[in-house]
């Protein structure tokens, strides 16, 4: 099996991270690194990458933390509004469709001229309960979107 590690791997990496390579490295470590392929690769690659990182750090221009915070809050609000609006639209469409159906039903029940009028019993019930039914329906129209939103929305 091909050897992929070296027992001194971590020590070699520590030398690089401590900035001791190449000038402040002891002779024993230097001798090992010269002959060990794994440690030689570690020194080479880790030195280049670490130097690149240290060079890039002072020149990295990132947005101000206040600006990032403000953008995050704005985006969160926009997402909340979008979610709420979507639910409102769906529920209102359902409510309007149901409202039209109920209105047609009440009209049919109370109008004698309507060709498909229900029985006398149904007509009597609807005549007595027509107004409360309309009030109940209006209340449902107002509260249903809120109830649905609270039930389905996670945001």
Helix (H/G/I), strand (E/B), else coil: 19: coil
Would you count residue 4 as binding another protein (CB under 8 A)?
Answer: yes
Dist. CA 19–CA 51, nearest whole Å? 10
Pick between residue 40 and residue 110 the one whose CB is nearest to another protein.
Answer: 40
Residues 6+ apart with CB under 8 A from 102: 133, 137
Map tokens 């070296």 to a residue. 6
Number of residues that bind another protein (CB under 8 A): 46
- Distance in Å, CB of 137 to another protein, minimum: 13
**60 dihedral zone (left: phi>0; alpha: psi -120 to 50; beta):** beta
DSSP 75-95: HHHHHHHHHHHHHHHHHHHHH
CA 16 to chain centroid, in Å, comes to 41
Would you count residue 52 as binding another protein (CB under 8 A)?
Answer: yes
DSSP 112: S
49 is written with which tokens?
């990458």
Stretch that binds another protein, among 45-53, 98-106, 109-117, 128-136 (CB under 8 A): 45-53
Would you count residue 66 as binding another protein (CB under 8 A)?
Answer: yes
Would you count residue 35 as binding another protein (CB under 8 A)?
Answer: no
Pick between residue 98 and residue 108 the one whose CB is nearest to another protein.
Answer: 98
Would you count residue 83 as binding another protein (CB under 8 A)?
Answer: yes
- Distance in Å, CB of 90 to another protein, minimum: 12
Residues that bind another protein (CB under 8 A): 4-5, 13, 16-17, 38, 40-42, 44-46, 48-50, 52-53, 56-57, 60, 62-63, 65-66, 68-69, 71-72, 75-77, 80-81, 83-85, 87-88, 92, 142, 145-146, 149-150, 153, 155
């Amino acid at each position: 099996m091909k050897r992929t590690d070296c027992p001194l791997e971590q020590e070699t990496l520590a030398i690089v991270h401590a900035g001791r390579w190449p000038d402040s490295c002891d002779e024993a470590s230097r001798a090992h690194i010269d002959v060990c392929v794994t440690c030689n690769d570690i020194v080479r690659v880790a030195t280049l990458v670490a130097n690149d990182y240290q060079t890039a750090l002072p020149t990295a221009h990132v947005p101000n933390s206040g600006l990032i915070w403000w953008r995050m809050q704005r985006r969160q609000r926009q997402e909340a509004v979008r979610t709420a609006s979507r639910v409102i639209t769906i529920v209102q469409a359902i409510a309007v469709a149901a409202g039209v159906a109920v209105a047609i039903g009440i009209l049919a029940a109370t109008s004698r001229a309507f060709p498909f009028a229900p029985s006398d019993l149904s007509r009597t019930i609807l005549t007595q309960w027509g107004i409360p039914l309309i009030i109940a329906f209006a209340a449902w129209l107002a509260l249903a979107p809120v109830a649905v939103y609270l039930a389905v929305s996670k945001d």
